[in-house]
Amino acid sequence: MCTRAVFYFIVDIMNTKISESMPKAFDSNIKEKEMIKIWDDSGYFKPENVESYLKKEGLDIKDNFTITLPPPNANGDLHLGHTCGYSFQDLMGRFNRMTGHPTLLLPGKDHAGIQTEAVFTKILEKQGESKWDLGREEFYKRCYEFCMEKAANARAQEKAIGLSADFEREMFTLDPRLNKIVYETFYNLFEKKDENGRGLIYRDKRIINQCPYCRTALADIDTEHEEMRGIFAYIIYPFVDEADKKLAKEKLGQEGIVVATTRPETMLGDTAVAVNPKDERYKEFVGKKVMLPIANREIPIITDRKIDIETGTGALKVTPAHSPIDFEIAKRNKLEAINVINEDGKMSGDIPERFLGMDTVDCSKALVAELKDLGLLVKIENIKHSVTVCERCKTPIQPIISHQWFLNVEPFAKAALEELKKGNTKIMPAGQQRALEFFLKNIEPWCISRQLWWGQRIPVWYSGGKKLYDWLMDNPKKTPADYEKETGIKAIGTGKIFMGETMPTSDPDWKGNESDLLIEAETDMFDTWFSSGQWPYSTLKALFPNEKDFNKYYPTQVMETARDILFFWVARMMMLGKYVTGKTPFKDVFLHGLVFATDGTKMSKSKGNVVLPAGIIEKYGADALRLWYYISALPGSNVSVDEEKIKGNRFFINKIWNASRFVLMNIEEELDEVIKSEKDIKETKKIKEAKKELKKISNYIVKYQFNLAAENIREFFWHTYCDKWIEETKAEIAELKVGDKKRIEKLSELIYILKLSLKIMHPMIPFITESVWQELKTVGLAKGDLLIQQIEE
RNA sequence: GGGCGGCUAGCUCAGCUGGUUAGAGCACUACAAUGACACUGUAGGGGUCACAGGUUCGAGUCCUGUGUCGCCCACCA
């Protein structure tokens, strides 16, 4: 007993150095910050430096590896979904950097038009300010500052998860260099005509989704459907002719035709009643006229194949201006569209004065009351139905007819589909590829203009004003002179448009007085996805304007993002990327699982179930969180935050630390011999097996099977290296004297395998592995920084 | 209405192109007094792989159908 105690006392003294720099528990909070500094200083987040390193070492330089990282919205904190993406992107980036590829992970921030405008407007309101008081310019300036501040915050969090991105090259979607490229795309697509002679980008008047709260037009994809309670009102539209009335009374039980609607207020804009041509009930009434109650307008009964005989009464009131289906029916039947709801969701237009300015719901109630008094209301049913709402603020959408800018996505979608079919771009999981194909096959024109203040202004100028241009578009064969005659407004311009960032000083076709000429700026902004949809080539073109350099980075290898923006973003990047550059922007698309709250529901501030990555990292360390993503957030899955599992991973991280600590503590006093012996190490049985296992891990990484890579490395390192090999070695060297040749061999073997393992683990868990590597470096057992070490293949 | 995915141990989930007694983490049981680590080690219990057919020498894995839960898309007024 006594001798034992003395022995360990001596060991303690000898190990003081190690014990000091390597405490029993791995302190992730301290070490992670140190490693971030080491990596920053190393310069290896830059592909050029990786390339010169490889050259210097006389190693093969393989193809560049590039990911243009999905830019998070620069208006808040990063959530667990963002850090999930970064974990996967960084794993791929680090692995490629360590296997001979000059690697660029290009970070960015998204101005996120409508969302940021909403967020910042709310912040202003809280401070007692209003965006309307600030005005456009001041609002833009303040919002820009706000985004820059938030971007810095996000950047710090990106570093905290270990992201090895080239931060000096970070891009903001409103960067002037990017704006230039986005504008060029716009000009080119405006000039390019489709087979009907129309520009691929064009201004059009059609039915769009108007959010009355955000006061802007939205693309179809920017809307959601929500189950809401509503009414289904059955209203009688009496026939005009007495004979028809009589016949109707006989056949239909009323002196009119009964229509059923969930939105009675739209009846003021009705221009027909449509029935199915095969509907026997209404056959003899087709072509007859009914009197639209309250509005007192005569409208015809028409037929349309799309009408469902079973729904409601089988007779549909047609409001072309405020219903997408009705808009289509009107087009087919050449019906007039009457606008009765304006951009703010209020009743307007040519309607009885008492309804003007009313909210649609109030108007609906008022109309129902009047119809009841007139005896024209059959009944009201209370129903639940799905209502289209704004994706941002959940306000019900008002379909209205409006002049907007559109992109004819059809040729783009065709090109993107082709790339998918050829396998030039592959989506993982495969099920999502079919979803994307379906989406691309059924795509509608994309409304790219938004009535916002935050974003890129559509670079268009109207000679004579926007109103004149739109009027001429609606009246194709007419002239500005006709415009003056018919509207009574003077036409002070030619009705032409000019493209460009700066205002044109003159219009060569303008015959009038130069000083009279009105040139009006387009005030609409681009949909935020119009710029982010160009992300891979816009960022790389901006950074590498020289074509030779650009081709080194583009097309990129992988797009790694979340499933929920497959249509919003991935589809747009594929369409625009292929069309503009001729090449699909990425070979593989890896869609990680969605991260949900502990209870399996979506995280939201209002529910109070938001878990932020910063808290998890502080508690368990970034490596533990990363490992959890790799094992849990598989493509196609939904994953709920599970702290127990993250905690379990932290135990593993600590295990790596202590195994390394053990090896280092034991070899301190015979270091030189170990270093010497390690140089011409024999391929022992353990080394052979380790190499086989580690090769398996890198194969998993190459095949995107990150869960298997993470699970297997954990299994190997913990249960083979630690539990078996270290324990065996312990027993083997127990009786050997310090400096014994066999002892040195055994310890060298352990160190050798440890280093191999650290390399292969580094892409997944960079902090612990680099921390250990740095310890090895200080005693001379390793050279350089781990992040640039090359994995043998 | 269309499409996609899940259903495997008490819980959360792995299981690539079909191949020996189906795995992990957590939880559970018993043991180990602790000099790398208790954020530990050793051993163990626990599963008719949703159901029904089929293909095959062989199916958790492939095919067909059913049930069930969930997600996405869609113009039922």
Give residue numbers, 55 to 74 of A, with CB < 7 Å from strand B: none
Measure, in angstroms, how far nucleotide B34 C1' is from residue A596 CA: 40
Assess whether A227 (CB) lies less than 7 A from strand B: no
In sequence order, the 6+-apart residues with CB closer than 8 A to the CB of A249 are A255
Measure, in angstroms, how far nucleotide B38 C1' is from residue A26 CA: 15
- Dist CA A613 CA A619 (whole Å): 10
Q: What is the mean pLDDT of residues A634-653?
A: 89
Assess whether A719 (CB) lies less than 7 A from strand B: yes
Nearest to A783 by CA among A791, A771, A774: A774
Instruction: Report the nearest residue to nucleotide B76, CA vs C1'.
Output: A311
- Tell whether the model's pLDDT for residue A671 goes beyond 90: no
Instruction: Report the nearest residue to nucleotide B25, CA vs C1'.
Output: A645
- Tell whether the model's pLDDT for residue A12 goes beyond 70: no
- Dist CA A468 CA A9 (whole Å): 94
pLDDT category of residue A13 using cuts at 50, 70 and 90: very low
Give strand letter and number of the nucleotide nearest A432 (CA to C1'): B4
Give strand letter and number of the nucleotide nearest A660 (CA to C1'): B36
> Which amino acid, residue A429?
P
pLDDT at A1: 36
- Dist CA A87 CA A764 (whole Å): 8
Using an 8 Å Cβ cutoff, are A746 and A740 in contact?
no
> Which amino acid, residue A120?
F
- Tell whether the model's pLDDT for residue A15 goes beyond 70: no
Say which residue the tokens 């160009």 belong to.
A534
pLDDT at A8: 44
Measure, in angstroms, how far nucleotide B65 C1' is from residue A710 CA: 38
Nucleotides of strand B under 7 angstroms from a protein beta carbon? 3-5, 12-16, 24-26, 35-42, 70, 72-77
To the nearest whole percent, how much of chain A has pLDDT over 70? Answer: 97
Assess whether A11 (CB) lies less than 7 A from strand B: yes
Q: What is the mean pLDDT of residues A337-363?
A: 90
Assess whether A704 (CB) lies less than 7 A from strand B: no
What is the average pLDDT score of chain A? Answer: 90
Nearest to A343 by CA among A468, A211, A203, A524: A211
Give strand letter and number of the nucleotide nearest A266 (CA to C1'): B77
pLDDT category of residue A760 using cuts at 50, 70 and 90: very high
pLDDT at A2: 41
pLDDT at A776: 92
Assembly ipTM? 0.93
3-state secondary structure of A559: strand
- Tell whether the model's pLDDT for residue A18 goes beyond 80: no
Assess whether A225 (CB) lies less than 7 A from strand B: yes
- Tell whether the model's pLDDT for residue A674 goes beyond 80: no
Give residue numbers, 244 to 273 of A, with CB < 7 Å from strand B: 260-263
> What does the radius of gyration of chain A's CA atoms come to, in whole angstroms?
34
pLDDT at A225: 86
Q: Quick one: tokens of A355?
A: 């309804």
- Dist CA A621 CA A160 (whole Å): 9
Question: Which residues share a beta bridge with A193?
Answer: A199
Least confident of A67-71, A421-425, A556-560: A421-425
> Which amino acid, residue A408?
N
* pTM score of the predicted model: 0.92
Tens of pLDDT, residues A93-149: 999 999 999 999 999 999 998 889 988 998 999 999 888 898 999 999 999 999 999
Reported in sequence order, the residue ranges of A502-555 that DSSP labels E, i.e. its strands, are: 519-521, 525-526
Give residue numbers, 304 to 343 of A, with CB < 7 Å from strand B: 306-312, 314, 316-317, 323-325, 328
Tens of pLDDT, residues A409-467: 989 999 999 999 888 999 988 888 888 988 898 888 899 999 999 999 999 999 999 99
